[in-house]
Amino acid sequence: MKKLVVMISVAAITAAVALVVLGPDQLDLYRLDRFIDASAKAYETDGGPWPHVNDTCFMCHGVKGNSLHQGYPSLAGQPAAYLETQLHNFASGARRSPNMGPLSMTMGDAQVKDLADYFSKVAPIANHYFKPDAQLRGKGQQLVVGGNCAACHGAQLMGHDQFPRLAGQGYDYILEQFDAFASGARSEPSGMMKSIATSASPEDRRAIANYLASLDPRGN
């Protein structure tokens, strides 16, 4: 406690001296310079010097891969192997996207690996911008548990290896992927997702998406 008081006193004295010596305007510039310097150091600590490989991702996928948009997937906490595979699939055309296709084609193997490793180590956050329908969520939970989705996607639906994290993903994104698997626009080696998607009714898909989008990846 005494140490904290001393630190606060030193900070107050420093600010007072700076105000007298520099004046209000120059003090504001000094504070701005300190903020920029601290921000630059934090940026480099997070992923090396400018520019980061992941700088192009935040516009759609959110800061550090935690998406705030229900239509764009969160990359944070996704298994590295899964992310690598999807980027290669976008580049080859095996998975189609007007945005990710051209972007992934510009990436070398080293960049793909760096991106996958980076996002796999970022802690995911809850999907706070989605409010589930209580009735649909309950039905979705029954379908997910009954369908044993955890067998592939892990006990907490956080994904592993080639299986993606489902917990806390965007509601619209989940529905879009169901539709893509059902239509054949998207595929995966086992064919399991196509089977699940085609056998589920539209209401079942909405229910599953409600449940998955509402899960907190930090602890379901």
* Cα–Cα distance, 118 to 95 (Å, whole number): 22
DSSP assigned state of 165:
P
**Residue whose entry in the numeric block shows the structure tokens 């996607």:** 153
pLDDT computed for residue 159 by the predictor: 97
Q: Which residues contact 171 (CB under 8 A, 6 or more apart)?
A: 70, 127, 130, 132, 209, 210, 213
The residues pairing with 163 across neighbouring beta strands, listed in sequence order, are 160
Burial code (b: 16+ CB inside 10 Å, e: under 16) for 58-85 equals eeebbebbbbeebebbbbbbbbbebbbb
Q: Which fold has domain 54-214?
A: Cytochrome Bc1 Complex; Chain D, domain 2 (1.10.760)
The domain spans of the chain are: 2-49, 54-214
Q: For the chain, what is the mean pLDDT?
A: 86
How far from each other are the two terminal CA atoms of the chain, in whole angstroms? 37
Compute, in degrees rounded to 10, the torsion defined by CA atoms 131, 133, 139, 141.
10
What average pLDDT does range 187-209 have in this prediction? 95
Contact yes or no for 162/81 (Cβ under 8 A)? yes
Enclosing H/E stretch for 110? helix 109-120
Q: What is the pLDDT of residues 75-108, one digit of tens each?
A: 999 999 999 999 999 999 999 999 999 999 999 9
pLDDT computed for residue 70 by the predictor: 97
Identity of residue 8: I
pLDDT computed for residue 213 by the predictor: 98
Q: Is the pLDDT of residue 176 over 80?
A: yes
